Amino acid sequence: MLLKDKKNLIVVPCDFTEEAQIALNHATKIAQQSKDEVRLLHIFNRESKSKLRKVGAGEEAVYERLKEWSERNQKETGVVTSYHAEEGSIFTTISEYLKGIGASIMVMGTHGVRGVQHLVGSFAMKVILISPVPVIVVQKRDVKDIGIKKIVLPIDYNRHGKNKVSYTIALAKYFNSEVHILQEKSSDEFYQKQILLNTNNAIQHLEQNNIKYKEIKENFGGGSFVKHIIRYAAKTNADLIVITSRPDQESVADLFIPSGEVDLINNDAMIPVMCVNPFENTAHLSIAGVS
């Protein structure tokens, strides 16, 4: 269970695309370690209802497919898998549902304008930035049988990155992962001091929890820190990048500009990205066993 005070529930938005299936696979792999339940979530909206009408089907057809997906997943993996559907908007209803059921995390597939929910990059960011729980965004890269073994953790001057370190530790404990710390470089003395402080704090927590890590100081090519993160993660075949979502764009490493946000979650290497919002009240984010 990822969080002490949360129900053991991992939510997967489901629009029956290939990406939704891959998101389910990732969520299931985590649930096998955390002993959580996985729940498929479908949101009926005007567009999805229109598509159903075009093929002469009703909402019951969606429930049948959700039942089929959940039963197959539970039978094949042994992970308890349930489903839920309701009418609303993906931009608000998903967030409200996550908060209402006290979910731990969400695993979401992102893709082009296909399927019935259109979770494309920019739309996906809207869902992420109002989510009350961390969101793991996946593309068409399926989860490995061995799970999440290499996690890239970017560190910059963002003062709200503590939550992402805690979630990184929780996942690293489940999969015996190695964390690769990428440190931003700044010519500004104040920012550089904050970066070093954040790096030292992250290392301290990793060491306290006996997590293997590497501190990567060299740059992999020119350009922004976003590009550096993507290049390094691709070069090392990382399994996950963990960032702090920044709706106010305070941080350069943690979702700095709108185009950078979309570039990161839709990186060409299709490496999953875990986005952790800087929750104002962090009391409910105490992770079992994390110092």
The residues, ordered by sequence, that sit 6+ positions from 138 with a Cβ below 8 Å of its Cβ are 19, 22, 23, 26, 107, 108, 109, 110, 270, 272
Give the amino acid at 178: E
pLDDT of residue 30: 96
The tokens describing 152, both together, are 């890239």
Max mean pLDDT range (109-113, 125-129, 210-214, 224-228): 210-214
Whether 15 shows a pLDDT value over 90: the answer reads no
CATH number 3.40.50.620 is the correct assignment for the domain at 150-285 = yes
Max mean pLDDT range (193-197, 208-212, 213-217, 285-289): 208-212
Pairing of strands 273-276, 135-138: antiparallel
Block residue for tokens 């990382």: 238
CA 249 from centroid of its chain's CA atoms: 18
Q: Would 9-138 and 150-285 be classified into the same CATH topology?
A: yes
**Range scoring the smallest mean pLDDT among 93-102, 112-121, 214-223, 257-266:** 112-121
* Domain locations along the chain: 9-138, 150-285
**Range scoring the smallest mean pLDDT among 28-32, 82-86, 89-93, 202-206:** 89-93
pLDDT of residue 221: 63
Name the residue among 249, 80, 243 with its Cα closest to residue 161. 243
Mean pLDDT throughout 151-180?
91
Within 10 angstroms of residue 27's Cβ, the number of other Cβ atoms is 27
The pTM of this model reads 0.87
Average confidence score pLDDT of the chain: 82
Whether the CB-CB separation of 136 and 26 falls below 8 Å is answered with yes
The CATH architecture assigned to 9-138 reads 3-Layer(aba) Sandwich (3.40)
Measured over all CA atoms, what is the biggest interatomic distance in the chain, rounded to whole angstroms?
64
